[in-house]
Every structure is written in structure tokens, then in C-alpha cells.
Amino acid sequence: MTKPELLAISKKSPLKTKYVIEKLAEECGKDVKVLWLPPAHCEFNAIELIWAFVKKYVAAKNKGNTIKGIYDLSLEALSKVTPELWINCINHAKKYEDQMWERDRLVDENLANLRQINPVNIILNDDDTDSDSETEEESESEEP
């Protein structure tokens, strides 16, 4: 079969993708919800701030560039990740989320305002001429 034929068959009975995390959340009950973060927006994810903390710590203390040394520094950095640091990172992510919600609200308001403005129609004709331009007769009568 050709690719278009196979695609046509597959579209007749699509499979809904279910991720393992969704199955686990269902097993935990209705109190657990999966929060899907938008891709390429690490600002919404507190663990990215923790990861940045660990990398910065390792980079600042790394002197030998050996795998063992980096491993040990990584463990040391992870041991310095406290509940207070987690709370600060979570609060930072929430603050950023609130800022994005506010921007979204402002965009919606501005779009609503733009819809209320009456459109301006400009009609262009092919035979329009500038008032400052010369006509053909004027240009022929003048001498160079």
C-alpha cells in the first residue's frame, strides 16, 4: 500500500495517546491532576530553577573536570536543595504564571477594543493621479 492509503486507513480508527503519568494519576483518584506545562517554557517549572541552582553550584566549585569530581559536586549541590529553596522556586514559578495570565488578560482586552473600532475603507483606482504630477500634455509642451 502507498503512504496516503495507509494514512487514510489509520485516520479511520485513531488511537488516543495515554501517557503512563495519566494512568498513574487515575489510579490515585480524583484528587490528583496532571499539569501539562507548555513546551519550551521552563519558567513555569520550578524544577528547572532547582536544576539551574545545581549546575551553577557545580560550575562554581568545579576545579578538576573529572567525572568523579563532577558527580561528587552534583551530590553536594543536591544536598543543599532545601525545602525553603523549593518553596522559593515554586513561588517564583507561580509569580511568573500570574504575570502571564495578566498579559493574556490585557491582550484579550486590547483585541476586544480593536474590534469596536470602525474599519476605514480606502478605495484605490487605477486612474488616480497625484495633484503635483504633470499631465502628458504639459510635459510635451515644455522644452528641455
Cβ atoms of residues 61 and 73 within 8 Å: yes
Residue 132 has pLDDT above 90, yes or no: no
Residue 142 has pLDDT above 80, yes or no: no
Alpha-carbon gap, residue 28 to 35, rounded angstroms: 15
- On whether residue 22 sits in a domain, the answer given is no
- On whether residue 79 sits in a domain, the answer given is yes
Confidence (pLDDT) at 17: 82
- On whether residue 126 sits in a domain, the answer given is no
Residue 144 has pLDDT above 60, yes or no: no
- On whether residue 8 sits in a domain, the answer given is no
- On whether residue 100 sits in a domain, the answer given is yes
Neighbours of 69 (CB within 10 A): 14
Number of domains in the chain: 1
Instruction: Report the pLDDT averaged over residues 92-108.
Output: 90
Grid cell at residue 12: 479511520
Q: Which of 60-64, 79-83, 106-110 has the lowest mean pLDDT?
A: 106-110
Residue span of the structural domain in which 49 resides: 40-115
- On whether residue 105 sits in a domain, the answer given is yes
Residue 21 has pLDDT above 60, yes or no: yes
Note if the pTM is more than 0.85.
no
Neighbours of 129 (CB within 10 A): 9
At 22-80, the pLDDT tens digits run: 899 989 888 888 888 888 888 899 999 999 999 999 999 998 778 999 999 999 999 99
Taking CA atoms, 50 is separated from 79, 92, 111, 126, 137, in Å, by 12, 11, 37, 64, 79
